[in-house]
Amino acid sequence: MSVNHFFITAKNGARLYCEQYGEGNRTVVMPNGVVSAKDFAQLADEFRLICYDPRSRGRSDLWMEDGVLRGDIHTDVDDLEEIRTQLGIEKLDLVAHSYAGWIAILYAMKFPSHAGSVVMIGPMSPVANRQYPPELMFDDGTMGRVFAKMGQLRNEAAGKSPEQLCRETWAEFRAVFVTDPANGERIDFGRCELENERNFMRYWLGNLLPSIQKLNFTDEDFAGVTCPVLIVHGTCDRNAPYGGGRDWAAVLPESQLVAVEGAAHAPWVEGPDLVFGSIRKFVKTGGK
């Protein structure tokens, strides 16, 4: 399948790296979607699919001012609107994985007239740091073992290049995205050849995560999300508890929850027919 690679210049002059697949009548946009484009490109047989790197991610520009790393989740929302405007799209259908689910929901709140439908896959909980009972917060010990191994790799990093250390780290970390270890080979999210991705934790811990943790919405705020929302969540998600998916379905008025039994944080790997079938139907019917 042919891919159109291009940049869009957003506010402050930051260039956002984009990839386009397909030429369908409906446009599906995936914030932070380049990392998983190889899997989601199959949607391009029906839709025009735009995947892009948010600023300071992937091949997009790092935003520094006076030596300080700038940007947060609200910057990402405004950048998404810049993409919509420059591409001349009236309504966006959004597919967003993990923390990017917040980009999609905040966009629907801020720009409701331009939000068509939203699909959130493995989203973070609508309530930051909420603790769930064991049946809604899967913990089989994998996360602890992986973080211990990653810590060991950092302690033994002397003499290794940043790219080599990144690749070794991701070789361990990908295990938390799947329930069947045999599927770990299908997770290739590290993009370790890119400096932005090697340094992502600095941006995540210093900018993105604090801005998400400060979000504090009421039921009335969530009721303002008038577009249809599909929540796709693995019941064995270690990164973002399945309980968060249930909470999203409870607070959003036009929402549906698809539980992918036994799947982890990348549910399309272990439940591809259910995940992609649900997304196709939802986008084509406008959530009906």
Question: Which pLDDT belongs to residue 2?
Answer: 84
Question: Which pLDDT belongs to residue 90?
Answer: 94
Residue-range domains of the chain with CATH:
4-138+195-285 (3.40.50.1820)
- What pLDDT digit, counting tens, does each position of 81-107 carry? 999 999 999 999 999 999 999 999 999
Whether the per-residue pLDDT at 288 is higher than 90: the answer is no
Question: Which pLDDT belongs to residue 129?
Answer: 83
User: What average pLDDT does the segment 38-49 reach?
Assistant: 96
User: What average pLDDT does the segment 39-51 reach?
Assistant: 96
User: Please, what is the average pLDDT of the chain?
Assistant: 95
User: What average pLDDT does the segment 153-177 reach?
Assistant: 94
pLDDT interval class at 267 (50, 70, 90): very high
Whether the per-residue pLDDT at 286 is higher than 90: the answer is no
- Higher pLDDT among residues 24 and 38, named by residue: 38
Question: Which pLDDT belongs to residue 148?
Answer: 96
User: What average pLDDT does the segment 155-165 reach?
Assistant: 93
pTM of the model: 0.96
- What pLDDT digit, counting tens, does each position of 201-225 carry? 999 999 999 999 999 998 889 988 9
User: Is the Cβ–Cβ distance between 279 and 97 less than 8 Å?
Assistant: no
User: What average pLDDT does the segment 146-150 reach?
Assistant: 95
